[in-house]
Structure 1
Amino acid sequence: MVTPRAHATRSPLQLAALIVGIVFLLVGILGFIPGITANTGDLELAGPGSDAMLLGIFEVSILHNVVHLLFGVAGIALSRTWAGARNFLIGGGIVYLLLFLYGLLVPHGSAANFVPFNSADNWLHLVLGLGMVALGALLGRSRGRTRSVL
């Protein structure tokens, strides 16, 4: 007789990747919501001309929000396996560290700032990159499992 599992089990690594993916998905959605994002009428497809500000702090564009949505979906999907979760956290963390460097090197008002970024975005990218790499490296040391309701 086949019985369904009462609870899905996830390793702490997989749970971390799932949570990070959900947060990115929510941030991508919130970037389109007036009131949470200021100046949504000035939301542009891409580039430094978008004056929309998520939480009044982080400069966003349609492309920026879509990247967050896709990153969130990737995190949720990759959290299904231990290796996928580790790759998402470490690989995604490296991407965010590279975005931090890109944000430091590219003038905020230039056409090369296509996502767009501002200083708050740059510092957030540094913290996200370091945090994701740390989670992937530290939680990726063992393949222990834990019960999760997520």
Structure 2
Amino acid sequence: MTQSPNRLVATIFGAVYLLVGVLGLFVAGGNVVGEEGGLLLGVFQVNHLHNIAHLLIGAALLIAGLRSTPAAKATNTTVGAVYLLLGIVGFFIVDTALNILALNTADHYLHLASAIVLLGVGLALDRRTTTARATV
């Protein structure tokens, strides 16, 4: 059995986002929600709500990647679209009360990069699994 690109990307991104969520719990300190947060890898600002989001997204991607190609494709596309929106909106909510995830510029670029990969794979690859039709 060959691994589909969507399953592979979902599994890898899921594992990475789970790891990032766990590591972030150690650096967030007492910052649960709001503009302030600890620095993960000295660059990415996180608070506990941000880490919980990473854990949930990581779990969704990992489960979908291990489950099936259609599940991975749908999850990659959905998470990619959410990250695209978050990456764009993030630039406008920095330094406002709406920044409840303690986002910073590095986070925005990482979310946009994740969106490009997830949307690219989700929309462009494994087309046969969702567009195959029965012949009559």
Shorter-chain TM-score category?
A: 0.7 to 0.9
SS at 1:56 equivalent: coil
Distance 2:9 2:84 in 1: 18
Question: 2:77 pairs with 90, 99, 103, which one?
Answer: 90
Which structure 1 residue ranges, 5 or more long, are not aligned? 1-7, 144-150
Deviation at 1:83, TM superposition (A): 1.2
- Following superposition of structure 1 onto structure 2, how do residues 42-57 of structure 1 map, counting pairs within 5 Å? 43-50=30-37, 52-57=38-43
Which structure 2 residue ranges, 5 or more long, are not aligned? 130-136
Larger helix proportion, structure 1 or 2?
Answer: 2
Distance 2:107 2:36 in 1: 15
Matched residues, number? 128
2:8 counterpart residue number: 15
| Equivalent AA in structure 2 for residue 63 of structure 1 | L
Question: 1:128 pairs with 114, 120, 123, which one?
Answer: 114
| Equivalent AA in structure 2 for residue 57 of structure 1 | V
TM-score (norm 2): 0.86
Distance 1:19 1:73 in 2: 11
Distance 2:54 2:88 in 1: 18
1:25 counterpart residue number: 18
Q: Deviations 1:68-91 (Å, cap 9, x if unpaired)? A: 001111111112111110011111
The percentage of aligned residue pairs carrying the same residue is: 38
SS at 1:31 equivalent: helix
Deviation at 1:9, TM superposition (A): 5.9
SS at 1:49 equivalent: coil
Residue 99 of structure 2 is aligned to residue 113 of structure 1: yes
| Equivalent AA in structure 2 for residue 100 of structure 1 | G
| Equivalent AA in structure 1 for residue 99 of structure 2 | N
Residue 45 of structure 2 is aligned to residue 59 of structure 1: yes
TM-score (norm 1): 0.78
| Equivalent AA in structure 1 for residue 97 of structure 2 | A
| Equivalent AA in structure 2 for residue 114 of structure 1 | I
Distance 2:91 2:70 in 1: 31
Point out the structure with max Rg over C-alpha: 1
Distance 2:14 2:103 in 1: 21
